[in-house]
Amino acid sequence: MKESPILFSGPMVRAILEGRKTQTRRVIKFPKHTYDPIGEASWIKSVHQDGGGNWVAWSTAEPGLAEFTKKAYPNGEGFKCLYGVPGDRLWVRETFAEAGHDLITYKADGTTRQVDRELDNKTSQWRPSIFMPRWASRITLEITSIGVQRLQDITEADAIAEGVTLPSNTVTMYPGIYRDAYAHLWDSLNAKRGHSWATNPWAWVIEFRKV
């Protein structure tokens, strides 16, 4: 079992703590050898797991390719998911502040927690999640499954499992409303990085449970 860090925004941290979020999607960074001459992976039509638990990209989505991939690459010749495999753990990085002495405060819900070390920072300034050390993390997740799909293939049920909520003034429910809410959330986090909902990137689908 290995542990890896993973960043979550404040609303998603609250969703995890409340038990509403059991999935996360992250853009796949394909190995450079899968890029075409203009630096993209636009030729990829499907991605399947090999016999060793790694992943192989294909230019076709022919039926039966999933089983063929395991037989063609039985020893894990594909590329790895950097987040791990089922059974591995993810420790959550979130916005926090060192409150002085031995206290950490978490911005997502205002919770203060005692840690097993003496801290020097008494200014309580918020620090971005990327700077959270392992000892300050309060949430550990166990990966239960990892899959691959195009972002826009997310279902309504999966959008709910992503922890999205609807505005309090929502009065009309329609098929796909949570999926639309997830698309809005995705763009708020990823559009500026060049991975908007409209570009429909390939994504890791990571399911987890809170330890």
* Burial of 117 from C-beta contacts in 10 A (0-12 / 13-18 / 19+): exposed
pLDDT at site 29? 93
pLDDT at site 117? 75
pLDDT at site 123? 61
Is residue 175 located within the same domain as residue 81?
yes
Is residue 49 located within the same domain as residue 85?
yes
Is residue 16 located within the same domain as residue 39?
yes
Is residue 25 located within the same domain as residue 73?
yes
pLDDT at site 100? 74
Report whether 184 contacts 200 (CB < 8 A).
no
Which one of 104, 132, 160 terminates a domain?
Answer: 132
Is residue 71 located within the same domain as residue 151?
yes
Is residue 8 located within the same domain as residue 104?
no
Is residue 160 located within the same domain as residue 113?
no
Is residue 167 located within the same domain as residue 81?
yes
Q: Which helix (H) or strand (E) holds 36?
A: none
- In the chain, how many domains are there? 2
What's the predicted TM-score (pTM) here?
0.92
Q: Which domain holds residue 99?
A: 95-132
How many Å is the Cα radius of gyration of the chain?
Answer: 19
pLDDT at site 78? 96
pLDDT at site 98? 86
Going from the first residue of the chain to its last (211 residues), give the mean pLDDT of each consecutive group of 10, the final group possibly shorter.
96 97 97 78 94 96 96 96 97 92 92 82 81 96 98 98 90 90 96 95 97 95
Edge to edge, the sheet with strand 202-210 lists 3-7, 89-93, 140-150, 202-210, 23-27
Is residue 101 located within the same domain as residue 68?
no
pLDDT at site 122? 58
